[in-house]
Amino acid sequence: MRILILGGDGYLGWPTALRLSASGHEIAVVDNFSRRRWHHENSTDSLTPIALLGDRIDVWEGLSGKRIESFIGDIEDGEFLDRIVRTTLPEAIVHYGEQPSAPFSMVSRQHAVLTQQTNVIGTLNLLFSIRDHVPNCHLVKLGTMGEYGTPNIDIEEGFLEIEHKGRRDLLPFPKLPGSLYHLSKVHDSHNIHFACRTWGLRATDLNQGVVYGIETEETAADERLVTRFDYDEYFGTALNRFCVQAVIGHPLTVYGRGGQTRGLLNIRDTLQCVELAVAHPAKLSEFRVFNQFTQQFTIAEVAELVQRAGTELGYDVRVQSFPNPRVEAEEHYYNAVNTKLHDLGLQPHLLDEQLVQSMLETISRHRDRVIARAIVPRTRWRPGELPGGGHPAATPETLSDESSAAR
């Protein structure tokens, strides 16, 4: 199958390109290196030293005999994207090409506008390119479980059967996203759904949980194929960040009481889910939503697991409650359905101490690359407000407490 991967240089995009190439598909990747650029702007970096895209592609070709095509540019530039779609005529498009960080979107007006513009306009351009050039193409779009927020009812997969005043309808699940980034994904979902019901496009929206892990089958084959591993406040995800903190002896940065529940999954399962979605496309006019995670944990549980696994390896792992920079409930009901990907055959890699220990070992090989400034969160959902003030679940620490903890 001809597959185009937007954001194909990223944490998930690059391993996905390798996996789908290994499976025999014809792969082209698009990227504008925004992640590499944003790291430069913040003087942070991937823990793993990542090769240039051109070198990665050459190494993979040397190993596999398969060539991955690449296009460099912004999908917010509709003419650029249109040209690629017209040229490559993909049968499936895997869309990772977005600004993926909640804290980044909350830094300032400029960051918020950049996030919603990149994500919403980029995806809107994509929908037009598909409509005009490859209307049968299957769009596999990465969404996020964060689109739902934490409602007091079970979270279904995209839609909800609602009974109201004696009448019934199947309607989009109501969304309560927790950041301007998460909102951009909600906007995307609405736009894509519209394109499916109005233009007859086909799409799968993968509402992904928090991804953890470093290696996939293909990236492990040669160190020059390694994917990026972020642990900074913007682009690092919870478990990945905790593992780096454990290795360098920084207290694990649990926000508030750590009662926030999230769906998590292994990076290997991300690839498996995307491959399953591609292999079982949505029907024309269908907008399909899969909740893509394998297990639910509270953040405190994740921290405890890292502490247990690290202690066994001889690390001194402390867990510390940090003032929550976000505006969110720290204790809440959470029960999300995730049966559709299992029905397609997903075989999850479950989280255990052994997996965490293998992450800790990989991280310790790169520990001299850890940049300390990346560890402690500085972006506040309510800037100007001391963390700890203003919402009920906050802890008594002050900003200066936290700043000193950062050093």
Name the minimum Å distance from CB 282 to a second copy. 18
Q: Which of 22, 50, 107, 120 binds a second copy (CB under 8 A)?
A: 120
> Does 162 participate in binding a second copy (rule CB under 8 A)?
yes
Binding to a second copy by residue 128, rule CB under 8 A?
yes
14 counts as binding a second copy under rule CB under 8 A: no
Among 236, 108, 115, 238, residue whose Cα is nearest residue 181: 115
Of 11, 16, 88, 185, the active-site residue reads 185
Among 10, 13, 177, 258, contact with a second copy (rule: CB under 8 A): 177
Give the residue with the Cβ less far from a second copy, 33 or 128. 128
Q: Is the dihedral of CA 379, 380, 384, 385 positive or negative?
A: negative
What minimum distance in Å lies between the beta carbon of 236 and a second copy?
A: 22
Minimum Å distance from CB 82 to a second copy?
8
If one asks whether residue 392 binds a second copy (CB under 8 A), the answer comes out as no
- Respond yes or no: is residue 144 known to be catalytic: yes
d(CA 242, CA 306): 7
Contact 168, 349 (CB under 8 A): no
User: Residues with Cβ < 8 Å from 141, sequence gap 6 or more?
Assistant: 95, 123, 188, 192, 203, 204, 205, 206
Catalytic residue chosen out of the listed positions 11, 96, 181, 334: 181
Site for a second copy in 228-287 (CB under 8 A): none
Distance CA 288, CA 279 (A): 14
50 touches a second copy by CB under 8 A: no
Torsion of CA 287, 292, 296, 300, to 10 degrees: -110
Regarding 61 and contact with a second copy (CB under 8 A), the answer is no
Q: Distance between CA 407 and CA 402 in Å, rounded?
A: 9
Q: Looking only at residues 197 through 236 of this chain, which bind a second copy when binding is defined by CB under 8 A?
A: 197-200
Q: Residue 368, Cβ neighbours under 10 Å: how many? A: 7
283 is catalytic: no
117 binds a second copy (CB under 8 A): yes
Amino acid identity, position 26:
E
Q: How many CA atoms are closer than 13 Å to the CA of 338, on its beta-carbon side?
A: 24
Q: For a second copy, how many residues bind (rule: CB under 8 A)?
A: 48
Q: Is 112 in the site for a second copy (CB under 8 A)?
A: yes
181 is catalytic: yes
Closest approach, Cβ 386 to a second copy, in A, equals 15
Quote the distance between the C-alpha of residue 11 and its chain's center.
Answer: 9
Contacting residue, 313, 327, 386, 405, with a second copy by CB under 8 A:
327
Q: Looking at beta carbons only, is 93 or 363 nearer to a second copy?
A: 93
Q: Which is closer to a second copy, CB of 176 or CB of 279?
A: 176
Contacts 24+ apart (CB under 8 A), 84-88: 84/4, 84/28, 84/30, 85/4, 85/126, 85/129, 85/130, 85/133, 85/134, 86/129, 86/133, 88/2, 88/4, 88/28
* The one segment of 95-103, 147-155, 256-264, 349-357 that binds a second copy by CB under 8 A: 147-155
Does 174 sit near a second copy (CB under 8 A)? yes
* Smallest gap from residue 159 Cβ to a second copy (A): 9
Return the structure tokens found at 106. 């909350």
User: How far is Cα 268 from Cα 11, in angstroms, rounded to an integer?
Assistant: 12
Q: Which of 16, 48, 144, 216 is catalytic?
A: 144
Q: Which stretch binds a second copy (CB under 8 A): 12-20, 178-186, 209-217, 394-402?
A: 178-186
CB environment 155-184: b (16+ within 10 A), e (fewer)? bebbebeeeeeeeeeeeebebebbbbbbbb
Q: Is residue 165 involved in binding a second copy (CB under 8 A)?
A: yes
Would you count residue 186 as binding a second copy (CB under 8 A)? yes
**β-sheet bridge partners, residue 28:** 4, 69
Stretch binding a second copy (CB under 8 A), from 15-23, 89-97, 173-181, 304-312: 173-181
Helix ranges, 298-387 (H):
299-312, 339-343, 353-365
Could you list the residues that contact a second copy (CB under 8 A)? Answer: 78, 109-110, 112-113, 116-117, 120-121, 124-125, 128, 151-154, 156, 160, 162-165, 167-169, 171-177, 180, 183, 186-187, 190-191, 194, 197-200, 327, 333, 381-382, 390
**Catalytic positions, please?**
144, 181, 185
